[in-house]
Amino acid sequence: MNYPFRACSQLTASSVRQLTSRHISNAPISTLLHRTNPVSNYSYRCDETARETNERDQAAHENEVKAGIEDAVKQQIRRPWQREGADQPPVSDSRRMNKVMTKGKLLTTPTRLLKLIVPLPFDATHDERGNKGEFRSLAQNEEIQPLALLVHPQQPLSYLERLIQAELPPVRDEDGREKMPNIYFLAEGSERDETGQKTKLEREESNIASYSGKGREGADTPPEHKDWVRWSSSTEIGDFIRDAARGREFAIEITGHNTELRVGVPSFNDRTHYMRVRLRRMSRKIDELAKIKHECDMLAHRGAHRIAVAGFFALSGWWGAVYFLTFHTDMGWDLMEPITYLAGLTTIMGGYLWFLFINRDLSYQAALKTTISRRQNILYQERGFNPEKWESLVHEANALRREIRTIAEEYDVDWDETKDLGGEEVREVLEHEDEKSGKSDKERENRDRKDNKRKKPDNDNEP
């Protein structure tokens, strides 16, 4: 390589180094830090050729362009001008939301089960750092999801205690042995009212407990006035909740971890929400079917009344024909007497056989009821009314009414069923059908009792 070309290459390299140093000195700190990426660092040689210098400059430029594109893509993913934390995965958002939950909930379900949601501070499998087994720590874990449990009101508290213990890590006793933590259920006592003052009954040293079934909808008792009472694990969950409804919450104490969980108590409206929703839905169906049934019943009664009137006119015509043939014709009484006798006897025998066939009482009410029932069945088929569906719907609605009324008595709340039933008409229909079913049940019991009395002497006579 000749001297001029080597000098030119050195001059070019030195000028490039000067320009680069000036550009770096004038650039901001962020740009300087960005351009000091190890990827873009190149060793400068004094004896490099112009081609090598050009290739090096092109590679540096390409690296700068790629770094800028990557930085722009990252900024686009983050989108700080729209919302904060857009670059975080959705799981982080959900877990961050779960950290806010510090109080448990007791919810009702359509299946009449109770759904208990409690934010457990510990996990039986791992901790925040992912340690498992004997390496896990007992520090509070904010990443644990709340625990949901389904319980029945008639199950004891010991069942709920076992479910919670299964989700907690064991504790060590004084001897260093592992054991399950003890779970205790606490509810507010009945010595004070919502304002924290002792009740009049308690001041008089009475044995009657004060009661308020408002639950979480009631007034909050000050913490210094709350008198907690520990309940036995053999108590039914429903009884415990009903008594705990005097306050807004009850407590679950976990010994060994020095932790106490607060759970909101459902009010009467919360406890009977799904029941009242079902009752409203069934009431609308009952109202529609009741109108069809009432129309069919009215037509059947009118038809039976017409048959009764037609029978009266038929008897009157028979009487007139016998009178005319006896006194105004040549037949006379000697001929008409056996005819009337045989006709009357035939009518009696036919009626007896008919009542014997239908196996009903021989009375006007029985005949009228049979006529009406047959006419009703015909009209029901024409109008698309299903009596079996009607009876099951009414029976279920009355059962829901009784259950809601029982819960209202337990919560000491006045329940206005007219609002949930949709009017007085539906309530009257349900009460009427309930009375009819009660009478039919009594008649069935009396009939069964009579049958048993008849069968008992026969069984006694057997050897």
Question: Tell me, what amino acid is at 432?
Answer: H
Confidence (pLDDT) at 290: 92
Beta bridge mates, 149 = 116
Q: Domain limits of the chain?
A: 3-78, 94-267, 274-461
406 pLDDT tier (thresholds 50, 70, 90) = confident
Q: What percent of the chain has pLDDT over 90?
A: 20
pLDDT above 90 (res 280):
yes
Whole-angstrom distance, CA of residue 366 vs CA of residue 424: 32
Beta carbons of 194 and 214 less than 8 angstroms apart: no
Please tell me the least confidently modeled range out of 71-80, 149-158, 232-241, 250-259. 71-80
19 pLDDT tier (thresholds 50, 70, 90) = very low
pLDDT tens for each residue of 234-258: 999 988 988 888 778 899 998 877 7
pLDDT above 90 (res 313):
yes
89 pLDDT tier (thresholds 50, 70, 90) = low
Whole-angstrom distance, CA of residue 108 vs CA of residue 271: 6
Confidence (pLDDT) at 2: 45
Confidence (pLDDT) at 231: 92
The crossing angle, in degrees rounded to 10, of helices 3-26 and 50-78 is 20
130 pLDDT tier (thresholds 50, 70, 90) = very low
Confidence (pLDDT) at 6: 44
When the pLDDT of each residue in the chain is averaged and rounded to a whole number, the result is 74
Whole-angstrom distance, CA of residue 249 vs CA of residue 267: 10
Sign of CA dihedral 448, 453, 454, 457: positive
pLDDT above 50 (res 277):
yes
pLDDT above 60 (res 414):
yes
Beta carbons of 279 and 397 less than 8 angstroms apart: yes
SS3 labels along the chain: CCHHHHHHHHHHHHHHHHHHHHHHHHCCHHHHHHHCCHHHCCCCCCCCCHHHHHHHHHHHHHHHHHHHHHHHHHHHHHCCCCCCCCCCCHHHHHHHHHHHCCCEEEEECCCCCEEEEECCCCCCCECCCCCEHHHCCCCCCCCCCCEEEEECCCCEHHHHHHHHHCCCCCEECCCCCEECCCEEEEEECCCECCCCCECHHHHCCCCCCCCCCCHHHCCCCCHHHCCEEEECCCCEHHHHHHHHCCCCEEEEEECCCCEEEEEECCCHHHHCHHHHHHHHHHHHHHHHHHHHHHHHHHHHHHHHHHHHHHHHHHHHHHHHHHHHHHHCCCCHHHHHHHHHHHHHHHHHHHHHHHHHHHCCCCCHHHHHHHHHHHHHHHHHHHHCCCHHHHHHHHHHHHHHHHHHHHHHHHHCCCCCHHHHHCCHHHHHHHHHHHHHHHHHHHHHHHHHHHHHHHHHHHHHHCC
Query: Which two three-digit tokens encode residue 159?
Result: 């069942």
pLDDT tens for each residue of 93-121: 544 545 556 788 888 888 878 899 988 77
Confidence (pLDDT) at 34: 44
Beta carbons of 189 and 227 less than 8 angstroms apart: yes
Whole-angstrom distance, CA of residue 120 vs CA of residue 416: 39
pLDDT above 70 (res 128):
no
Beta carbons of 102 and 123 less than 8 angstroms apart: no
pLDDT above 60 (res 373):
yes
Q: Which residue, among 297, 293, 307, has the nearest Cα to 367 in the 3D structure?
A: 307
Mean pLDDT of 181-206: 64
Mean pLDDT of 75-79: 56
Range of 205-209, 309-313, 327-331, 410-414 with top mean pLDDT:
309-313
